[in-house]
């Protein structure tokens, strides 16, 4: 028998300490670059969106590549791409973690639309509010002390 998969994921990750570091001037180029990374990882980027402090992806991923490896590659290569830009003055970093949720084929249009409307959505809710609501919606147990990275100021 042949192997068939349809592994759809809604993936969310933020900038380091949720700082507003994704610039609107190069956001579309960044999204295109991330799409190329997903393709290189044997996946398909179906939708991408976000605002200055985080990104949402709707992606179909290969069963032969671990999602943690895909995310590590996306974040490492895209942060390198950003840091090599002449119009970026301070070091850019993504947070260390991410959230990933399986998406059924029937819900793909709904999730895609949600991702496409991030700018509108974030006129009403912060990333932190959105992220906690999504964790709760997916029945993810969490300890607030460890959800968001905190900047240590010395």
| Interatomic CA distance for residues 95 and 148, integer angstroms | 9
Q: In this predicted structure, what is the pLDDT of residue 56? A: 98
- Predicted TM-score of the model (pTM): 0.95
pLDDT of residue 152: 82
Q: Are 14 and 54 in contact (CB under 8 A)?
A: yes
Which residues 6+ apart lie within 8 Å of 56 measured at CB? Answer: 10, 11, 12, 47, 48, 49, 50, 114, 115, 118
Sequence-distant (≥ 6) Cβ neighbours of residue 125 within 8 angstroms: 133
Q: What pLDDT is recorded for position 99?
A: 97
pLDDT tens across the length of the chain (154 residues): 899 999 999 999 999 999 999 999 999 999 999 999 999 999 999 999 999 999 999 999 999 999 999 999 999 999 999 999 999 989 999 999 999 999 999 999 999 999 999 999 999 999 999 999 999 999 999 999 999 998 888 7
State the pLDDT at residue 81.
98
Sorted by where each starts, the structural domains of the chain and their CATH numbers stand as: 8-147 (3.30.70.1290)
What is the bridge-based pairing of β-strands 44-51 and 54-60? antiparallel
């Amino acid at each position: 028998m042949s192997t068939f998969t349809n592994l759809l994921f809604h993936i969310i990750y933020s900038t380091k300490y949720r700082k507003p570091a994704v610039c609107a001037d190069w956001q579309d180029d960044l999204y295109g670059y991330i799409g190329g990374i997903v393709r290189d990882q044997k996946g398909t980027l179906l939708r991408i969106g976000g605002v200055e402090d985080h990104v949402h992806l709707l992606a179909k991923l290969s069963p032969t590549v671990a999602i943690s490896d895909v995310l590590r590659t996306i974040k490492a290569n895209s942060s390198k791409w950003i840091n090599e830009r002449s119009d970026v003055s301070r070091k850019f970093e993504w947070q260390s973690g991410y959230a990933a949720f399986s998406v059924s084929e029937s819900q793909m249009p709904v999730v895609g639309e949600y991702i496409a409307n991030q700018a509108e959505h974030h006129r009403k809710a912060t990333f932190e509010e959105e992220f906690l609501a999504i964790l709760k919606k997916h029945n993810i147990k969490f300890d607030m002390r460890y959800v968001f990275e905190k900047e240590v100021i010395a």
